[in-house]
Amino acid sequence: MKKLDPVPDLNQEEVKMPWQKEVAKDWYEDYQKEKEENEKLRKELVELKKEIEKLKEKLKKLNQRTSENSSQPPSSDGYKGCDL
């Protein structure tokens, strides 16, 4: 029986073809961009949620007003609603 030569221990980077390295690089760059955008959107979402809570509280206070506790005179043309 013929003895087989041992398989050389190759680093995975050495095995990759040049186009594979380029694809991996492009993928990683796209991943980084999406990760940064995701982080930015998450921060924006947190700020928008805070703003919504403030507006809800303001609306709640406005809806609790009556002619007795309001410093404003009654509207002569009826209820106008609340502009947000």
Say if 79 falls within a structural domain. Answer: no
Provide the number of structural domains found in the chain: 1
Does some domain include residue 82? no
- Out of 29-38, 40-49, 62-71, least confident range: 62-71
User: 11 in a domain, yes or no?
Assistant: no
Q: What is the pLDDT of residue 17?
A: 73
pLDDT value for 43: 98
Q: Is residue 44 part of a domain?
A: yes
Cβ(61)–Cβ(82) below 8 Å: no
| pLDDT for 7 | 58
Q: Is 7 among the domain residues?
A: no
Selected residue with higher pLDDT from 38 and 64: 38
Can you tell me which residue has the tokens 């995701």? 38
* pLDDT attached to residue 72: 67
* HEC assignment per residue over the chain: CCCCCCCCCCCHHHHCCHHHHHHHHHHHHHHHHHHHHHHHHHHHHHHHHHHHHHHHHHHHHHHCCCCCCCCCCCCCCCCCCCCC
37: domain range?
18-63
Averaged pLDDT for residues 51-66: 92
23 located within any domain: yes
